[in-house]
Every structure is written in structure tokens, then in C-alpha cells.
Amino acid sequence: MSKTNKCPISLRAKSIEPYEKIVGKQVVEKLKNMSKRLKGKSWTHLNSTYQGGGVAEMLQNQIPLLRGLGIDAQWHVIEGNQKFFEVTKKFHNALQGVSQEFSLDDLFETYLGTIYDNAKKIRIEADMVTIHDPQPVAIITHARIFGHVLWRCHIDTSEADKKIWRFLHPYLNHYSGAIFTIPEFVKEDIQIPVYEIAPAIDPLHPKNKLRDRKQALNDLAALFKKNNIDPERPIIAAVSRYDIHKNQKGIIKAFKLLKKNLSSKISPLLIIMGNTASDDPEGEEMYKKMQKLAGGDKDIHLLLNVKNNDQVVGSLIHLAECFVHISTKEGFGLVVTEALWQGTPVIGSNIGGIPRQVIDKETGYLVKPDDYELVAKNMKKILEDKQLAKEMGKKGQEHVRNNYLLPHKLIKELQLMEYYLDGSKRAPGFRINDVSYYEINRKYYGRSQWPFTRKEFKSKIRKLKNA
């Protein structure tokens, strides 16, 4: 285990029972039965931050629940200085297809040097180990890590920059398997078993508990007072890290367009809430840029690292008439799940995992991330038609209830654990480069060799899904 960072958050075991009234008896019973078979087995997670961003958010909720199910779940993080995280942020961007310059010093001194330092301190022996995202990826070949080690990729690597992919690819192929959010994110030359597991939110987390308007107003009272926000005005909300891909710029532009086209009867506010993550050095700078872009508009509130984050975020999302998340790159967008769960319609971009959640004209509206006019038009529709907004919100909540709550994700992960620990089992249905894919490849394309081209891979998955 790592002797370096200690998790500042309580990860005390939590019972699965209270989830029954939210996801139903069948789901909870299934989890209980699986966990009986896996009692005492261990699962260790390793990432690069305990706080900030979707991965930390998910682990904070998942570790206690796994412990409650009798699994020995542990969580460690790697340490790095500002320079290391600047380089890994460039990895993150380059893996998502944004061209970045890397010097040999970036790759070997800063990145691998930090990985070697961490590797000296890390000792992990567990039945299953998950290493999250690109920051710690190379640790696999250097640290004392023993078990079935999976790489959990939360981002879209399908268009990864060639140079950085060439650098990281050999490390990836040392893993026992990889988990991706959706099959479209998988670059075709991965030569290890690949699984599809969507992220999920914890409905019992303070952020996600279902509240009424009165409770929401109560949670927001201090913040609204401090920032002079009138709670009676309709709110358009956005919540994310301040980051170029989260496209806060686009949201501000769309809001300005909306204001030009609204009757004076409706006078909305835009509240953008954001935080900075310790593994993301670009946040503060982006925040300042957004302040400049807002240009002192009194209807736009840009908030950074608010107090009582979880209650405040959940309540803001609940209170908002409409939530906007028009990222230009996105893994899944857990915040979209959170907003739908709070019964708020979402205007989301047709990027990454967002279209899995925002079903156009059903749970919100799907747009191109740079189509600000359409974003503004959809904001207007939602503000003007309360009944429509209510219906969309209800559908969104049910969509999340059936697909994206933590117990659904845990079922898949425990299935994976059973599969790895008992080699005789069939691969789980969510393995996306299973042997059946080879068969399909033979059938459709008359050959049996991996890799497929990316286009073929995508169309094959579509066919499977529609079968």
C-alpha cells in the first residue's frame, strides 16, 4: 500500500439496504448475492487526487459501499508536483485529440521521474486493482503491484494524439484489462480485454439526495445572500471544473444571446459554479478568463470553490429551470447525471457520454457545442414552457434511476471481479472485444484478425446494440 497520501475523507463502510427503495429489491438482492461469493476479496483503486473531478467523486461513494458489501476496498493516490500535473494535463488533452507539445524532459524527467518516485513507495497486493486515467498509467511496470490490474479510462481516447499514444500504449498493454465508458472511446489497437462500464452517481450522497424547493433554498441562502442572487428569478445553471473543454465560454455566449431574445417578463440568471482540482493546474486561469468574458454582466454569476459544495451544487441543480453542459470533449459528464437525477432538463452537447444521458427532446436537448444560437433557443423553450420542462425533468430522473445509479455500476464491477477470480466463467456481456466480436468480424468482413478499422468497429457495435 502507499504510505504517502492519506485520504482526507471518511470511507467508512456503508450498507446497501437503503438503496433498495431507490433502485428496487431485485438490484439490491443481486448485489448481496454476488458479494457473498466475493466476501473478503480485495479491490484497490489508484488515481491522482482524492478531491475534485468525477473520478474522485465516484470513488468517495463507491469505496464505502464496497466495504459495506464485505469487499476489502482501498484507495490510494499518487503524488506529484505542479510540473507533473501540468504534463499529465497535457496528456489528458492530447489523449482527447488536442494537439500538445511534449519535450523529452516532459515525458522522461517530469512524468516518468515522478512515476519512479511514487513507485518506490507503492506496494499493492489485492485481488483486483484499478488504476484510473492517464496520470498514474505507467506505474504498472514500475511499482510493486500484484493482482489483476485494470486500467480505467474515463476519457475519450478515440482520436488520441499519435505521439502521446505511442508513448503510453506499451504501458496499457501490460494491464489485465481496460474499462472504458463507451465503446466509441476505445482506440482500436488496444490488445487487452476491454469492458464497457458507464459511470454512476450515488443517490444517497448529500449532493444527490432528492430535495424540495424549500430545502434547496435553505442550502443556498448564505451563498445567494453573499452574491446578491435573487432566488425568485429563473436560474440557468452550469457546474464543472473551469476547463477549456467544459466550454463555459459557450454557455456565457448563449446566455447573452438568450437575453436579447426574451420578453421582459422573464429575467433569468446564469449561475456557473466551478471548482479547481489539485491535479488540474489550468483552473484558476480559466476562471479569470470567464470573468473577463462575462464583462461585469450582473445577470451572470461565476462562482469558484463554494463552501458546502455538495449541498450547494445539488440544490442549485435542483432549483435551476435548466442545466447546461455543452462540453467540447467529455468522458461521461457525471454532472449531467446529477442534473437529470434532480429532475432538471439538460441542454447537453452531442459529445462523449452526454448523448447516452440527454435524449433529445425527451430528457433535454442535444446540441453541437458551438451552436450557441440553438443553445439559446432551447434555453428559451425551457424557460417559457414549465410543463414541458417538468415532463423532461421527470423522464431524465427515470432514465438515471434505471441506468446510472451506483448499484448498477457495482453489479458490473463485481461481475468483472468474479470473472477474473474464477477463470472458468464466461466473459461478461459488457466485454466489448470478446470472442463473439471476432465471430462477427468473420461474418461481416470475412476475416478473423484484430484490429478492425475504427469505422468497422463502430458500425459493428451499432449492429450488436440493435440486434
- Which CB, 4 or 309, lies closer to ligand UDP? 309
- Our CB check for ligand UDP shows the closer of 106 and 338 to be 338
Instruction: Candidates 327-335, 341-349, 376-384, 401-409: pick the segment binding ligand UDP (CB under 6 A).
Output: 327-335
- Which of 302, 334, 359, 410 is close enough to bind ligand UDP by CB under 6 A? 334
Cβ atoms of 47 and 133 closer than 8 Å: yes
Distance, in Å, from the CA atom of 416 to the CA atom of 430, rounded to the nearest integer, reads 9
Q: State in angstroms the smallest separation of the CB of 463 from ligand UDP.
A: 29
> Which residue, 254 or 273, is less far from ligand UDP as judged by CB?
273
**Residue 415 beta carbon to ligand UDP: minimum distance, rounded to whole angstroms:** 23
Q: Which stretch binds ligand UDP (CB under 6 A): 9-17, 84-92, 214-222, 235-243?
A: 235-243
Task: Give the separation between CA 52 and CA 405, rounded to whole angstroms.
Answer: 20
Q: Which residues contact 304 (CB under 8 A, 6 or more apart)?
A: 242, 274, 275, 276, 287
- Given the rule CB under 6 A, which of 102-110, 223-231, 329-337, 455-463 is the region that contacts ligand UDP? 329-337
Cβ at position 274, least distance to ligand UDP in Å = 5
Residue 111 CA to residue 109 CA, distance in Å, equals: 6
Residue 164 to residues 183, 393, 454, Cα–Cα distance (Å)? 20, 40, 19
Q: Is the peptide bond before 451 cis (omega within 30 degrees of 0)?
A: yes
- Number of shown-chain residues binding ligand UDP (CB under 6 A): 16
Q: Which three cell numbers, joined as nine digits, stand for 182?
A: 463507451
Q: Which stretch, 82-90, 234-242, 417-425, 459-467, contacts ligand UDP (CB under 6 A)?
A: 234-242
Any contact of residue 309 with ligand UDP (CB under 6 A)?
yes
Cα 147 from Cα 43, distance rounded (Å): 9
Nearest to 397 by CA among 345, 323, 324, 356: 345
Interaction of residue 353 with ligand UDP, rule CB under 6 A? no
Q: Please report how the helices 454-466 and 435-445 are oriented relative to each other, as an axis angle in degrees rounded to 10.
A: 100
Residue that has been written with the C-alpha cell 432528492 in this structure: 210
CB-wise, 34 or 200, nearer to ligand UDP?
200
Considering only the stretches 99-107, 174-182, 272-280, 417-425, report the one whose residues sit in contact with ligand UDP under the rule CB under 6 A: 272-280
- Single out the residue of 333, 348, 364, 393 in contact with ligand UDP (rule: CB under 6 A): 333
Considering the rule CB under 6 A, would residue 273 count as an interface residue with ligand UDP? yes
Window 239-258: residues binding ligand UDP (CB under 6 A): 239-241
Q: Which is nearer to ligand UDP, 49 or 433 (CB)?
A: 49
Nearest CB to ligand UDP, comparing residues 53 and 396: 53
Q: How far apart are CA 272 and CA 238, in angstroms?
A: 5
**Helix count and strand count (H, E) for the chain:** 18, 12
- Please identify, using beta-carbon distances, which residue of 274 and 343 lies nearer to ligand UDP: 274
Interatomic CA distance for residues 379 and 381, integer angstroms: 6
- 283, three cell numbers: 483552473
**In the complex with ligand UDP, which residue's Cβ is closer, 277 or 375?**
277
Please say whether the beta carbons of 65 and 37 come within 8 A. no
Question: What residues between 47 and 86 interact with ligand UDP by CB under 6 A?
Answer: 53-54, 57
Task: Measure Cα distances from 141 to 44, 133, 162 in Å.
Answer: 17, 16, 21
Instruction: List residues binding ligand UDP (CB under 6 A).
Output: 53-54, 57, 239-241, 273-275, 309, 313, 332-335, 338
